[in-house]
Structure 1
């Protein structure tokens, strides 16, 4: 018989003690009230498998009545302890069993409490490998537990932080979102890398606060002074973590200003002053933008996610007047060319951008924060002729400001001259409304002039392929 076979025989014989032994000397009472159940066990097995039980028996945590140790665990349910005890005796756990899958979080807590470190590690990895549906159903509960046990379940803590940063909608869209405890929610809204617009964080915080108070109606138009007072008290500890000063003027005006009663008076006055006189001195500490809001999207070194969201809105026939909130559009932007990396010549433009379908040209002007550009909904191909389109547009805005008063959207008014698909250096929009390489900005075939001069100098430029998701 091989060594492995001998080992397997030993494990089998020990595991049979779980089901068939009558020489047990420990009675463990688990659960509370009507859910109480008593399990029989052997102290020698418990000591060998768990330092928790070793300490319990050696320091008289467990009382002895006659020949039996009496041990009580009211904080562990019978179904969870049954799984734990089977693991202690057999070294196995059926993770796909219904009673295990439906109690994974409780199992994790119990295994940690009983110092079953290998099982804790095994359960953490199993939860990480579970499908999206499990996280949707159990995410809020898991996040609360991880927040309450910081530093204990390190693998899951890292996993949960990544989800908070990258897929916050798994929490936000959950029917149990309101069950997030205070500390978990504070951890969530403090994250620098949180991939969520600040105004959406604010709106969901308000919804959470309302749901936490059963006396509050979801219809805030019916509220009086008392209702606002209740919600303000609930939200007080969270307000200082919301980055109000990083919202657009439209977001502030429509989403924050009407709820000014919820804010400290000083913050309310500072916000009003800031959005009317941006350079005014503020008493409130201004938190920096989240790193995810600073990150350039689709490898752009010129514009941010908010600019791309605005451009997506325009591609979808949005007007120059901005909506209350800009949300992620239905488009992906694939970088084809960057002047500072690939060169500014027309030949490289033809090589990288011709026959790529719809494209977006982004031009940063020299010695300025101003950005101009245009959307070609057809393609570049060097046909040497005009392309007919009623969907093209040119535009200008600033890299550091999406104030609607500084944004220009200029749609084509003569569709026959929408796109100049030149085979030399005349690529652009209209008859000089925006020539990329000739650096011309006149007003001919588009509705509005996008630059105050008829010429411009390029600091850098990018071309993106526009792909509908």
Structure 2
């Protein structure tokens, strides 16, 4: 019965697309006299094509609406964001349109880095989100531990890498280096203790550019000696003991309502071939 229902539904959708009834998007391809016109439905385009989804957002001027919604969430429903932090954090880094939420979430992680770095889901963090955290000057985490977590993330992105670099070939070090190419420049190498350099960095020495590794070694022996490598500023670590995060449930968890909005606007997209 279910199979028959979906078959009929599929046929209905096909007929809808073929006859163009109730369309709200016109796509014009080519130029006169060879121009072709296609009638389409924005809701289908929205889910079938990311590029067209972005174009439709721009066409209808929804960027301002997206920013307004983010601002309202941050100002009036911050507790809801905290209670649903993992989901919000994952979603907000899927698009550059959510910069307000990204900044809000990163401010939380900066104070409580264990939320992300010690989570079981850390290895599934997007590269974009990880790099944004590494750039934070106020990230409250020991740089040696941060290095370990970055290595952990990089290894997890490659199924052929195990956790024992002593057994790795040169090719495996190259693989990890390529995976972490956008992360490594943001590590504060010269803020890592000598013990951590030996215990944590040395096993991955092959990933370092010769000049950088030479300078790391030089700073361990002669801290005041000038070096060629760029020294990033140390992270601003607070001495204040932060209270534990509140994990109590909140009545604000149901802040979204579903509404049906019907638009009579017809968008015209031009594709010049």
Instruction: Please state which band the TM-score falls in when normalised by the shorter chain.
Output: 0.5 to 0.7
When residues 131 and 138 of structure 1 are mapped into structure 2, their CA distance, relative to the original with a 3 A threshold, is: closer
> Which of 121, 141, 159 in structure 1 is aligned with 2:68?
121
**Structure with more of its chain in strand, by fraction:** 1
Alignment of 1:201 onto 2:171: no
Deviations 1:30-61 (A, max 9, x none): xxx99x78699967xxxxxxxxx7xx56x869
The runs of 5 or more residues in structure 2 that have no matched partner are: 1-9, 30-35, 245-273
**Equivalent pair of 2:211/2:229 in contact (CA under 8 Å):** yes
Q: Which residue of 2 aligns with 1:134?
A: 84
**Equivalent pair of 1:267/1:284 in contact (CA under 8 Å):** yes
The runs of 5 or more residues in structure 1 that have no matched partner are: 1-32, 44-52, 79-107, 299-304, 306-327, 331-469
When residues 134 and 208 of structure 1 are mapped into structure 2, their CA distance, relative to the original with a 3 A threshold, is: same
Q: Which residue of 2 aligns with 1:278?
A: 223
> Which of 159, 167, 186 in structure 1 is aligned with 2:112?
167
Q: Could you tell me how far 1:244 is from its partner in structure 2?
A: 0.9
| Counterpart Cα distance in 2 of 1:74 and 1:170 | 37
> Which of 138, 157, 161 in structure 2 is aligned with 1:212?
157
Report 1:83-94 matches (<5 A): none
Q: Could you tell me how far 1:194 is from its partner in structure 2?
A: 1.5
When residues 74 and 219 of structure 1 are mapped into structure 2, their CA distance, relative to the original with a 3 A threshold, is: farther
Report 1:72-91 matches (<5 A): 72-74=42-44, 76-77=46-47
| Counterpart Cα distance in 2 of 1:179 and 1:109 | 25
**Equivalent pair of 2:113/2:139 in contact (CA under 8 Å):** yes
When residues 154 and 245 of structure 1 are mapped into structure 2, their CA distance, relative to the original with a 3 A threshold, is: closer
User: Please, what TM-score do these two structures have when normalized by structure 1?
Assistant: 0.39
Q: How many correspondences in the alignment?
A: 215
Report 1:388-407 matches (<5 A): none
| Counterpart Cα distance in 2 of 1:173 and 1:287 | 25
Pick the structure with greater CA Rg. 1
**3-state secondary structure, aligned to 1:161:** helix
| Counterpart Cα distance in 1 of 2:86 and 2:135 | 22
**3-state secondary structure, aligned to 1:250:** helix
> Which of 35, 40, 44 in structure 2 is aligned with 1:70?
40
Deviations 1:271-329 (A, max 9, x none): 11211222233121111211x23x4x24xxxxxx9xxxxxxxxxxxxxxxxxxxxxx9x
**Equivalent pair of 1:128/1:159 in contact (CA under 8 Å):** no
**3-state secondary structure, aligned to 2:68:** helix
Q: Could you tell me how far 1:170 is from its partner in structure 2?
A: 2.6
**Equivalent pair of 2:190/2:231 in contact (CA under 8 Å):** yes
**3-state secondary structure, aligned to 1:156:** helix
| Counterpart Cα distance in 2 of 1:130 and 1:41 | 41
**Equivalent pair of 1:140/1:180 in contact (CA under 8 Å):** yes
When residues 139 and 170 of structure 1 are mapped into structure 2, their CA distance, relative to the original with a 3 A threshold, is: farther
Alignment of 1:222 onto 2:192: no
Alignment of 1:231 onto 2:176: yes
Deviations 1:328-349 (A, max 9, x none): 9x9xxxxxxxxxxxxxxxxxxx
**Equivalent pair of 2:89/2:102 in contact (CA under 8 Å):** no
**Equivalent pair of 2:188/2:231 in contact (CA under 8 Å):** yes
**3-state secondary structure, aligned to 1:281:** coil
Deviations 1:174-193 (A, max 9, x none): 44433334343322211112
**Equivalent pair of 1:135/1:170 in contact (CA under 8 Å):** no
**Equivalent pair of 1:140/1:171 in contact (CA under 8 Å):** no
**Equivalent pair of 2:81/2:88 in contact (CA under 8 Å):** no
**Equivalent pair of 2:165/2:204 in contact (CA under 8 Å):** no
Deviations 1:234-273 (A, max 9, x none): 2233222211111222222222223212211111111112
**Structure with more of its chain in helix, by fraction:** 2
Q: Which residue of 1 aligns with 2:205?
A: 260
| Counterpart Cα distance in 2 of 1:255 and 1:133 | 34
User: Please, what TM-score do these two structures have when normalized by structure 2?
Assistant: 0.62
When residues 112 and 71 of structure 1 are mapped into structure 2, their CA distance, relative to the original with a 3 A threshold, is: closer
CA RMSD, 1 decimal: 3.9
**3-state secondary structure, aligned to 2:186:** coil
